[in-house]
């Protein structure tokens, strides 16, 4: 069979595949600040980069926590993300039935939430579950909302052992514009203007750059979120500026862009081909000098007629989303109601 059957002709005859006539912005789809930092060309003088990164390891190496602080406009421009704090908790055990590690992740989340936004004893909180409950990879937010302890309506009616130990918490799952016909941001802004919470906590599904981080990463940030941005469906931003209320966003990458997945495969393939190609040959020079953005642009160009804007999620996503929603809901419950135990919360959930 001729080579053309394997290698699309336009991949070689189209100059745009390698050197576009107009400069394009190379942007591998990711919602994680940690991955944006990894993709960034790190300056030698870290103190002048506008970005501060610290890392801690927990549970004998099973859990990694990374703080990415974007300090100024220089860092924001380089990262392509707003100034603020981004906490990333990584553990492959999130995808597994590892209850001991899950408990450790919950404790770490509670600690990180307290560091990110200390709350007064009587602070009121609005929880927002973003996403489409009919689509499993996008159902994380609504799933979490179904498991949290809401107490705003129980003031004066709670058991004596709970009175004075819980904060007023309300929750909403506004759905997506395709279900409601209403911009999600408009719904949330209307609710916040009405009930005036001291803090909004939004939970959303994200997109990642690396397949290893799918369903194995939790990002906590204080910079807001664009619902649907992870899958290229950008909507009104939820932020302190648009809502008039501080917001914390808890997100988990549940999908990866198909072009990114192919790019990772191509990277591995090219590394193998470079290792086997005779040094000094024209083929070796072509492979070794192929820039990352050129590869990604080429892959996107080739895939578009066949796959369109495709995203990929693991086949076990149903059970994983259930585990992740339990972890996040328990962490939120304990962080917002520190005077009661997890057992107490489970007893009174959905009262």
In a domain, 280, yes or no: no
Q: Which of 50-59, 166-175, 254-263, 306-315 has the lowest mean pLDDT?
A: 306-315
Nearest to residue 128, comparing CAs of 85, 208, 186?
Answer: 186
**Gap between the Cα atoms of 99 and 82, Å rounded:** 35
**Residue 298 falls inside a structural domain:** no
The answer to pTM > 0.85 is: no
Contacts of 198 (CB under 8 A, 6+ apart): 119, 120, 123, 124, 125, 245, 246
Segment among 1-5, 77-81, 159-163, 269-273 with least mean pLDDT: 1-5
Residue 228 contacts residue 176 (beta carbons within 8 Å): yes
Matching residue, tokens 């004066």: 156
Q: Could you tell me the CA-to-CA distances from 257 to 35, 58, 74 in Å, in that order?
A: 14, 30, 28
CA atoms of 35 and 81, how far apart (whole Å): 11
- Confidence band for 19, pLDDT divided at 50, 70 and 90: very low
304 confidence band (pLDDT: 50, 70, 90): low
- Over range 148-155, report the average pLDDT: 85
Do the beta carbons of residue 68 and residue 46 sit within 8 Å?
A: no
Q: With CA atoms as reference, report the closest residue to 332 among 134, 163, 129, 135.
A: 129
196 exposure class (CB count in 10 Å sphere: 0-12, 13-18, 19+) = exposed
What is the percent of the chain with per-residue pLDDT over 90, rounded to a whole number? 49
Residue 36's pLDDT is what? Answer: 87
Under the banding of pLDDT at 50, 70 and 90, the label for residue 156 is: low
- Tell me if 271 is assigned to some domain: no
Quick: pLDDT tens for 161-191: 666 678 999 999 998 887 888 888 899 999 9
How far apart are alpha carbons 278 and 148 in whole angstroms? 60
The answer to whether position 5 is within a domain reads no
Question: Do strands 84-90 and 311-312 pair parallel, antiparallel, or not at all (unpaired)?
Answer: unpaired
CATH, residue 198: 3.40.50.1450
pLDDT score of 234 more than 50? yes
239 part of a folded domain? yes
Of 47-56, 161-170, 243-252, minimum mean pLDDT range: 161-170
Q: What is the DSSP letter of 278?
A: P
**199, 123 Cβ separation under 8 angstroms:** yes
Count of domains for the chain: 1
Per-range mean pLDDT, top range of 36-45, 79-88, 203-212, 292-301: 79-88
In this structure, is residue 186 part of a structural domain?
yes
| pLDDT score recorded for residue 44 | 40
Q: What is the pLDDT of residue 160?
A: 63
- pLDDT tens track for 108-147: 999 999 999 999 988 999 999 999 989 999 999 999 999 9
For tokens 């600040």, the residue is: 33
Q: Does residue 145 form part of some domain?
A: yes
Residue 227 domain boundaries: 33-259+311-348
Of 256, 216, 252, 219, residue with least CA distance to 95: 216
In a domain, 288, yes or no: no
DSSP-based three-state secondary structure for 252: strand
């Amino acid at each position: 069979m001729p080579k053309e059957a394997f290698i699309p002709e336009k991949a070689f005859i189209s100059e745009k595949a390698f050197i576009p006539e107009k400069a394009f912005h190379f942007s591998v789809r990711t919602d994680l600040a940690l991955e944006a930092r990894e993709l960034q060309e790190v300056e030698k003088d870290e103190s002048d980069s506008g970005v501060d990164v610290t890392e801690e390891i927990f549970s004998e190496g099973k859990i990694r926590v990374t703080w990415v602080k974007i300090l100024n406009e220089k860092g924001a421009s380089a990262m392509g993300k707003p100034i603020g704090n981004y906490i990333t908790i990584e553990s492959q055990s999130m995808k597994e039935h590892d209850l001991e590690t899950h408990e450790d992740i919950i404790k770490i989340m509670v600690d990180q939430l307290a560091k990110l936004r200390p709350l007064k004893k009587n602070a009121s909180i609005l929880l927002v579950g973003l996403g489409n409950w009919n689509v499993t990879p996008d159902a994380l937010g609504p799933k979490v909302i179904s498991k949290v302890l809401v107490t705003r309506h129980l003031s004066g009616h709670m058991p004596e052992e709970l009175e004075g130990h819980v904060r007023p918490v309300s929750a909403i799952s506004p759905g997506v514009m395709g279900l409601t016909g209403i911009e999600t941001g408009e719904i949330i802004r209307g609710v916040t203007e009405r009930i005036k919470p001291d803090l909004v906590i939004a939970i959303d599904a994200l997109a990642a750059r690396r397949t290893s981080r799918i369903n194995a990463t939790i990002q906590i940030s204080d910079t807001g979120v664009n619902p649907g941005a992870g899958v290229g469906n950008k909507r009104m931003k939820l932020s302190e500026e648009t809502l008039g209320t501080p917001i914390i966003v808890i997100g988990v990458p549940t999908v990866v862009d198909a072009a990114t997945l192919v790019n990772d495969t191509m990277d591995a393939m090219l590394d193998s081909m470079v290792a086997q190609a005779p040094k000094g040959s024209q083929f070796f020079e072509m492979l070794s000098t192929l820039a990352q953005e050129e590869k990604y642009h080429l892959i996107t160009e080739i895939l578009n007629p066949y796959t369109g804007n495709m995203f990929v999620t693991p086949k076990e996503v149903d059970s994983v989303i259930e585990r992740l929603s339990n972890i996040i809901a328990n962490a939120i419950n304990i962080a917002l109601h520190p005077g009661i135990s997890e057992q107490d919360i489970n007893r009174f959930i959905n009262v």
